[in-house]
Structure 1
């Protein structure tokens, strides 16, 4: 799909099989974040800056100690350690307009985020918390760069921002107190991301993530995901179950609509969920074979949902001890009856 343009592409073949629906394939490539990357941070040299310098050409990254009022020349804005002075008088208005027009804002954990009013951030900040464990909520290309489930790696978090996730936000990673640690929201034509692991190092470090070799890998995965090079979440097989962060109106390929918080992809074609588009295809050859139609439970997959496996096992229980006690009881009862009869005689 590397040579396909962004947006919707339909590929049709002639002289196909008996089932016409599988003669057309649908591909959706999300619009990539275009423009330069701007890192806003009150510090001069940071691990994030080092990672960006390794991953991107020099002309594609700029650094600033304050948020400029005009962001039209950028595609991605990363907020590092910021405060009231570096954000300016009305950062929410500047950033919201930027995102609505197709920009991407990545906000890393910083006390200064509390100065961004409104509903821009994909976290409702309520305070600060101390040490916590991380929980992987949903798999995503971004989370591949964070060693959350790796038992060999000890990712220590000693401080984090406490908060909750708004209804329309997708949470990928949480703290043990259910605070979002990695979350995002599609807004307008753009995307807003919150990362609860900042890059402070030394005695004041909030976590050890910035000192790990996985740190630049994470930023590579993040930029690839935002750049549209990973389109797996927009292109699925029929039979896939997709869980959404909130109840939304879904438009099916046949034009019907449904309001739900989950989607079972049972039609081939294009699904519209707000500004998002999902392309579904009959990738399994057995699905399109009208001569052999069967329901295979293994073909129904679930994305980002782990369903508990219920195992039922029939156990044959030995009731011999119970029968022995019953027999003994009957014998004792019979002896009592015989004794009473003798007394009566």
Structure 2
């Protein structure tokens, strides 16, 4: 035990491996017992010389070993191997740990209370190490910086701000675990721990196991100083919209404030209305109404100074009077459900024809092709190809005319999925939504397909596949093609005994076509223009978007800030509407009694730089030298 304790204090990761140095002893004994023969010149008068035999034997044994270069080489090979196996390191000290670190900062609306978010930004750099990842926990984890230096991570943290969402802290912790899965490391979660989506942070920590060092750093105390707009909706009456909004008072006493209302008309001019009076009893909710909301965007702002600013605003977007033309091409001989759904949209004018014309006007917002028995000729495909290439939008509804055997080269190029042949299933095939604005809030679990087109995804980064079968066959796909967009709708809606599926009988069917019209023509349900913070919209290509915080270019929009987002000509109003986040009197979750409250951290960390490879390389070189000596002596 004494030897082991002594070895453990040496600068080696595996000090007991130094016991391998004992192998030197048998090497020395071997050389002493079996010395290498050597030549001796024998004088003829040897019997006249006096030889001191005892001194000569000892001297000759030692000098033979020391002077033998092979022995020296083998001795150092054993030493180098033993030292390399022990894992030597150089110990130094640094203000940063050498562990990988992930910093998770809660970006939810409740972090706006007091200085919670600012304090988290101030404290976060204290937990940084030499390699860092920064995650902002929103409704989905947002990786701000990955595997960067402490300086870069600190700059990234300084540029963060809290959002108008509820944070999914559990998903952010799972993302951190994935990042640290290879080398391990430390995770620091900086949050008020009052509200969250998804898994409870404490349960998420337990699920991660002991492989990661997870530290919770809580902030803030409850306060009752908050008045919030927690919900709102539009109701159309006699051709005009009325906006109803609910205001909650989290204090115990009555609160009366004014609400300023301003509308920005489609032409850019502003209308300023007389302030509304908003009075709410203590710990209660009241509903108010703003009537005759004009087209454009309207801002309602509670004039109050309280805990959370984001929930003092409500934004309304009502598109101006628009009209769009749609060309519907089908040989069905009657009106199909998809055509009916489109014709019910007041702002949409649907023109129906049976064959593709020689040319297509670019005045059509989009063209729908929904053939039954008719197979598109090469001339018809070329017409459609020219229309899309010039910036048109084309929707193909599934049918046998899209089978691989019926495709021309241009048709194959345009389709966002690689379509093969028709497949039939007696029991029916179920579909599921992968995630898209087209499928959000739509129940597709009861939709079954008896017949569908077997297809494969294309290796195109800008192509989206929002609906697929359980086997991975794309049922809905869309993406850019040349200057236009091509949409593949794999749910054929021809009726009769041979109907391919039952989707047309569901309430979600017309909603889906309304969303297609809105996507291509900016015309659709008013709810498409008014969304809750935390909603995600997927676009077909990178698009320049004007957000409340400035311009950005992306193909995936996370609406996380209250205000108006402009995407092309479409203006989308984003509201917080979150009683859970606005509830400022909520206590933090239990189990944080021993959490780090921003306490003292080590001022210096021990940094162990491994140098075992130096000794391993030296051992290898010495082995090569040993082989050279053996060969030179004729032993091998």
Give the TM-score normalised by structure 2: 0.35
2:525 to 230, 239, 250: 230
For the 8 Å contact 1:36–1:76, the answer to whether it is kept is yes
C-alpha contact 1:51 1:219 (8 A) present in aligned 2: no
Say if 1:13 and 1:219 are closer, same or farther in 2 by CA, change over 3 A: same
Gap change, CA 1:158 and 1:85, over 3 Å in 2:
same
State the partner residue of 1:221. Answer: 511
Alignment partner of 2:445 out of 149, 174, 177 = 149
Deviation at 1:96, TM superposition (A): 4.2
Given candidates 453, 462, 468, the residue that maps to 1:174 is 468
Query: In 2, are the aligned partners of 1:8 and 1:26 still within 8 Å (CA)?
Result: no
Match of 1:135 in 2: 431
**Cα deviations across residues 64-112 of structure 1 (Å, max 9, x unaligned)?**
312451334534421012512572434222134353xxxx532101354
**1:106 aligned residue:** 395
Q: Give per-residue Cα distances to partners, 1:227-250, cap 9 Å, x unaligned.
A: 433354554333x26374799687
Q: 1:78 aligns with which of 349, 368, 372?
A: 368
Unaligned stretches of 5+ in structure 1? 297-345
Deviation larger for 279-288 or 251-260: 251-260
Q: Which whole-Å CA distance do the structure 1 matches of 2:587 and 2:377 have between them? A: 62
SS in 1 for 2:390: helix
Distance 2:302 2:483 in 1: 35
**TM-score, normalising length from structure 1?**
0.59
Paired position in structure 1 for 2:269: none
Question: Any conservation in 1 of the 2:370–2:399 contact (CA below 8 Å)?
Answer: yes
Contact 1:143 1:172 in 2 (8 A): yes
Contact 2:535–2:560 (CA under 8 A) maintained in structure 1? no
**SS of residue paired to 1:158:** strand
1:13-68 per-residue CA deviation (whole Å, 9 max, x = no partner) reads: 36344355444433445789833432212443363487469847997432231245
Distance in 2 between the 1:14 and 1:146 partners?
34
Instruction: Specify whether residues 11 and 254 from structure 1 end up closer, same or farther in structure 2 by C-alpha distance, changes over 3 A only.
Output: same
Contact 2:431 2:467 in 1 (8 A): yes
Residue 351 of structure 2: which of 25, 41, 61 is its match? 61
- 1:181-223 Cα distance to aligned partner (Å, 9 max, x none): 12345889986432112245568x471438x644xx5553234
Matches within 5 A, 1:1-150: 1=234, 3=240, 9-13=297-301, 15-18=303-306, 19-28=308-317, 34-45=323-334, 47-48=336-337, 51=340, 55=344, 60-81=350-371, 82-85=375-378, 87-97=380-390, 99=392, 104-113=393-402, 114-115=407-408, 116-117=410-411, 120-121=414-415, 123-131=416-424, 133-138=429-434, 148-150=444-446
Aligned twin of 1:209: 502
Q: CA deviation at 1:160?
A: 1.1
CA deviations on 1:254-304 (whole Å, 9 max, x unpaired) are 2385979674x5432345678876543222356457x647779xxxxxxxx
Residues 136 and 148, structure 1, Cα contact 8 Å, conserved in 2: yes
Contact 1:37 1:74 in 2 (8 A): yes
Alpha-carbon separation, structure 1, partners of 2:343 and 2:542: 40
Structure with greater proportional strand content: 2
| Structure 1 counterpart of 2:550 | 255
Distance 1:184 1:149 in 2: 21
